[in-house]
Amino acid sequence: MYDSMKGSTHSLAPPEIAEMAIPEDERVWVPQAPGVWFRPLLLNTMAGQWCNLLRVRKSGVLSKHLHPAPVVGYVIKGRWHYLEHDWVAETGSFVFEPPGEIHTLTVPEDCEEMITFFNIQGCMYYVDEDNKHTGFEDVFTKIDMCRRHYEEVGLGASYLDQFIR
């Protein structure tokens, strides 16, 4: 992973732009796991791509996974790291994940909330402690999760249509 902002005190985007991406309506956040949500921004079914905000309000290991294609991200708030690396992605950091690398996303105990923008191509393969495949997510599983959630919270399944390309 390359962090182009490491050691820098400036941000790539003004705070007001990052704040606009964070919805006021909590129903827009789709639950993914206890203490973990995502907000879809783009669900590209033609290219198998999705862009979202990942919000975490818990500490510890979120997942051990890999991607078959490169992933880029931008930390809007908080910080996190991968157990396999010695860097920390902090507010204002741009991150790059090379394809095929297994990494374990972890949020430190003193971070109350982490929000990161991710652009993911292909899918995300989850693995266990022995690096054996345990599940996956792709643009279509994300669509299914969103439709169910938006229907349940009263936004309606069609609310998701604005994000599908």
CA distance 82 to 40: 23
Find out whether 15 and 91 touch, Cβ atoms under 8 Å: no
Please tell me the predicted confidence (pLDDT) of residue 7: 39
As for how many domains the chain has, the answer is 1
CATH, residue 86:
2.60.120.10
Tokens of 67: 């991607």
Please tell me the predicted confidence (pLDDT) of residue 21: 75
Find out whether 120 and 50 touch, Cβ atoms under 8 Å: yes
* Enclosing domain of residue 6: 2-163
CA distance 53 to 116: 5
Residue 117 bridge partners (DSSP)? 53, 74
Number of residues that make up the chain? 165
Find out whether 76 and 115 touch, Cβ atoms under 8 Å: yes
Tally of CB atoms within 10 A around 94:
18
Those residues of the chain that have pLDDT short of 50 are 1-12
Can you tell me which residue has the tokens 């902090």?
Answer: 90
